[in-house]
Amino acid sequence: MRQRRAQLLPGQCIDCGLCLSACPTDAVAPQAESFTAFDRYRHTVAIASPVLFGQFERDVAPEAVLAALQQIGFDEAVDMSAAIEAVLYELQGLLRDRDRAEPLVSPFCPAVVRLIQVRYPTLLELVAPLESPQEVLAAAVREHRARVMGLRSEQIGVVYVTPCTAKTVPLKLHTQLEPSQLNGAVAIGHVYGRLRSALQDAEPMARTPANGVSGPGLHWALVGGQGAALEPDDALAVGGLENVVRTLDDIERGQIRDVTYVECWACRDGCVGGCLTVDNPYQARSKLMRLARRLGNEPDFERAAVRSLFEHRELRAKPIVPRTEQTLDSDLAASLGKMKRLEEIYERLPQNDCGACGSPSCRAFAEDVVHERVDEGDCVFLLQDRLRVALRELESVVSRLPSTGQTTAGSAS
């Protein structure tokens, strides 16, 4: 907080969205895109996150939700299941061919990937080099529709209906520094009301699941959903940013053993607990698991849609690079000097992380001082110490002054 306004530091923010739910005054709001932003496209396609299907009543089939997306303004709406299974198939091959002791780390939560870029750059080589299913599907949909409809690629807008803010940021700054295949994202919470109205106004639809929606596709939205679809029974599933930090610390120290794959989500419940959803995450989880049981939990890698994506799309991603905004200085010697000063300032602070200064912690405040964003006096405890010193100095000066009734030698009587 600076001048009573919330500020985000791009070099440190990992876009997890937890500030949205933590702030009691709604000082932070998600960046949302309106439908008018997509009017420039000749054809718009909505890619529905599996989370969306768990936001409505149990008897609302995924096909009805996809149809409702078209009714509220999209020309087309597609499910991600085929792309999810294709990526899982590629991941299965990576794990099968791996001969290293360290586990692979999932790359599918952008907030976790950015956390590794900022805080654990030495672990980047452990992040599985795979594109996200929505990126894979967006590229495939754009290419196919352009060919079939005779449109240019830039005339087709592919929009992700997202459960969280983390999945909107790659559109502006792709993790691998490559342009995103998606043209935008809309929050589930922003379209939920319009979708409910469309579902209520629509004719009753069959309650059988939409063609192509699969159990593994629905499980993708849940913590443990990836590991459940993989052959190794030694996958680890971690939800919640504090738990992810602890697990990454343990991986860095070599304390995670006998594990081949670590699935990490910044949200405690996985994507179903994203900050841009509407329904209770546990209720939504129950509905998705119920629907997945009806569909079958085993992936079908021989399904035509899955095979087509696997065989004709590039599923591997380029290596992820560290985010260098976190360094104190581009010059190593200067950076070491600033680090020493940071530690000295931190030692003088109360280290109670009260937040009265506007920084989230005492260490963050010390770093802000080093970066000259704030002054040490902005800490009320250090300010009190300064005032005490100044008061003692003032008292010392006053004590040396002659009293009001005294006269100097030689003065007139």
Residue 273 is given by DSSP the state G
397 pLDDT band, cuts 50/70/90, is: confident
Full-model pTM: 0.78
The one-letter amino acid code at 53 reads F
pLDDT score, position 364: 87
**Tokens coding 236:** 């680890």
Please state the rounded mean pLDDT for residues 384-410. 76
Ranges of beta strands (E only) in 80-205 are 104-105, 156-162, 184-187
The one-letter amino acid code at 183 reads N
Sheet holding 156-162, edge to edge: 76-79, 43-48, 156-162, 184-187
Element (H, E) at 140: helix 133-149
- How many Cα atoms are found within 13 Å in the side-chain-facing hemisphere of 119? 18
Rg (CA), the chain: 28
In three-state secondary structure terms, 27 is coil
In three-state secondary structure terms, 316 is strand
Torsion of CA 200, 204, 210, 216, to 10 degrees: 60
Residue 172 is given by DSSP the state T
Question: Under CATH, which number does the domain 327-400 receive?
Answer: 1.10.15.40
Contact 161, 195 (CB under 8 A): no
Contact 159, 46 (CB under 8 A): yes
The one-letter amino acid code at 126 reads L
Residue 199 is given by DSSP the state H
Please state the rounded mean pLDDT for residues 10-24. 74
Q: What is the rounded distance in angstroms from the CA atom of residue 191 to the CA atom of residue 398?
A: 69
pLDDT score, position 5: 66
Q: What is the rounded distance in angstroms from the CA atom of residue 260 to the CA atom of residue 265?
A: 17
The neighbouring-strand residues paired with 104 are 261
286 pLDDT band, cuts 50/70/90, is: very high
**Tokens coding 149:** 């409809």
Whole-number mean pLDDT of the chain?
84
Domain ranges of the chain: 18-99+130-229+277-322, 327-400
Please state the rounded mean pLDDT for residues 226-239. 84
Name which of 24, 46, 21 is nearest 33 in CA terms.
46
Report the topology of domain 18-99+130-229+277-322: Rossmann fold (3.40.50)
Contact 83, 137 (CB under 8 A): yes
Read off the pLDDT of residues 72-108 as tens digits, 9 standing for 90 and up.
999 999 999 999 999 999 999 899 888 888 899 999 9
pLDDT score, position 32: 60
The neighbouring-strand residues paired with 173 are none
Contact 234, 258 (CB under 8 A): yes
pLDDT score, position 1: 61
User: Residue 262: how many CB atoms within 10 A of its CB?
Assistant: 25
